[in-house]
Amino acid sequence: MSLLPLPPASRQLGLSGLTISPMAWGMWRLAEAGRSVAEAARLVHAALDSGITLLDTADIYGFNGTGGFGDAEALLGQVLAAEPGLRGQMVLATKGGIRPPLPYDQSADYLRSAIDASLDRLRTDSIDLWQIHRPDILAHPHEIAQVLDDAVASGKVRALGVSNFTQTQISALNHFLGQKLVSTQPEISPLRIDCFENGELDQAMQLGLTPMAWSPLGGGRITGVESARDKAVIAELNRVAANQDISRAVAAYSWLLAHPAGIVPIIGSQQARRIAEGALALTVQWSRTDWYSVLVAARGERLP
Ligand code: NAP
């Protein structure tokens, strides 16, 4: 049986020179349900104790449609202020460029203010990875690039990434950037497989971008089955999970980790036990046959 390689113990974040864990922990849902600073700190520790050093947030996390913009960053900032030693143990990633009630704003003035506001809320001098959250169709990539290059030159940001960008949008921004992009963050999961065949991951490999997978469990959908196609994907994941004595979630993370682009699944759980369990994915090895059987189930039709 032909086995795919196990993921490495650590990865490089694109060509940034920063070393990251092969999995990340995401804080989209951190500021939900009135979570306290102590509870948030417990989750940060759960991630670090599990060997997960790449922590992903965004200025919009916490926004509930009317308020809460910045709340997830501010909560993490309080955790960092209470325990300053933590900051050096993580590679801190955040995002900006979504501006309610507008959809998106990447004008120069707004981007500058958004980066400064994230630094204030996170109570840090520097963001390791600053990502544009979603593309602003009304912003010229040359103008965005100037702001982002300035942010790197001033030391406010160490490396740059994008999320939800098309390949052409990535190429256009990278063309104007002096400090090239190091990461891209599309949605990827066994239930969301577009980028395996649409060229996004090929472009990431070509440019040396680290692909960070958002919603690696389909936002939790992988645990609650709906369509016939989802059921087929889950049946394949369950088969591998049973053979390897792991959970379906761990099977899903490890399926992403097995891809040669070095996909970094961003664990979205806000339960310490599930964050720790997620890190088990690094020990799971896939055969080519099993890997393709999940892909075929997700495609809903055989490969040619
Ligand atoms: P996910 O892992 O696909 O879904 C996490 C959700 O599934 C949580 O609500 C979790 O609940 C639930 N869940 C149910 N069973 C689970 C199990 N066995 N193990 C783990 N979780 C289980 O990820 P996500 O939260 O949607 O997204 C992950 C991260 O991606 C976010 O935190 C954020 O950093 C990033 N993201 C980025 C974008 C973007 O546009 N760039 C968009 C969305 C997300 P519990 O908390 O109760 O475990």
Structural domain including 214 reads: 11-226+261-283
pLDDT tens digits, 103-137: 999 999 999 999 999 999 999 999 999 999 999 99
Q: Could you tell which of 165, 215, 248, 263 is best to mutate to test the pocket of ligand 1, judged by most ligand atoms within 8 Å of the CB? A: 215
| Residue at 108 is within a domain | yes
pLDDT tens digits, 261-294: 999 999 999 999 999 999 999 999 999 999 999 9
pLDDT tens digits, 27-84: 999 999 889 999 999 999 999 999 999 999 999 999 999 999 999 999 999 999 999 9
| Residue at 6 is within a domain | no
**Cβ(262) – ligand 1 distance below 6 Å:** no
The whole-number average pLDDT for the span 20-26 is 98
CA 29 to ligand 1 center in whole angstroms: 8
Q: Reply yes or no on whether the pLDDT at 254 is more than 90.
A: yes
**How many angstroms separate the CA atoms of 170 and 15, rounded?**
15
Return the CATH number at 182. 3.20.20.100
What are the residue numbers of the active site?
A: 61
Q: Reply yes or no on whether the pLDDT at 223 is more than 90.
A: no
The string of DSSP letters for 175-242 reads HH-SS---EEE-B-BTTB-HHHHSSHHHHHHHHTPEEEEBSTTGGGGGGS--SHHHHHHHHHHHHHHH
Name the residue among 288, 278, 242, 293 with its Cα closest to residue 46.
Answer: 278
Q: Reply yes or no on whether the pLDDT at 1 is more than 80.
A: no
Q: Which H or E run includes 294?
A: helix 288-299
The predicted pLDDT at position 33 comes to: 84
The predicted pLDDT at position 174 comes to: 98
At residue 192, what are phi and psi to the nearest 5 degrees? -135, 90
| Residue at 43 is within a domain | yes
The predicted pLDDT at position 266 comes to: 98
The predicted pLDDT at position 108 comes to: 98
Q: How many domains does the chain fold into?
A: 1
The predicted pLDDT at position 9 comes to: 96
**Cβ(248) – ligand 1 distance below 6 Å:** no
What's this model's pTM, rounded to 2 decimal places? 0.98
Query: Whose C-alpha lies nearest to ligand 1, atom 17?
Result: 249
**Cβ(131) – ligand 1 distance below 6 Å:** no
Residues 60 and 133 sit within 8 Å (Cβ to Cβ): yes
**Cβ(268) – ligand 1 distance below 6 Å:** yes
CA 107 to ligand 1 center in whole angstroms: 30
| Residue at 303 is within a domain | no
Query: Whose C-alpha lies nearest to ligand 1, atom 42?
Result: 214
Q: Reply yes or no on whether the pLDDT at 225 is more than 80.
A: no
43: Cβ contacts below 8 Å, ≥ 6 apart: 25, 30, 270, 272, 275
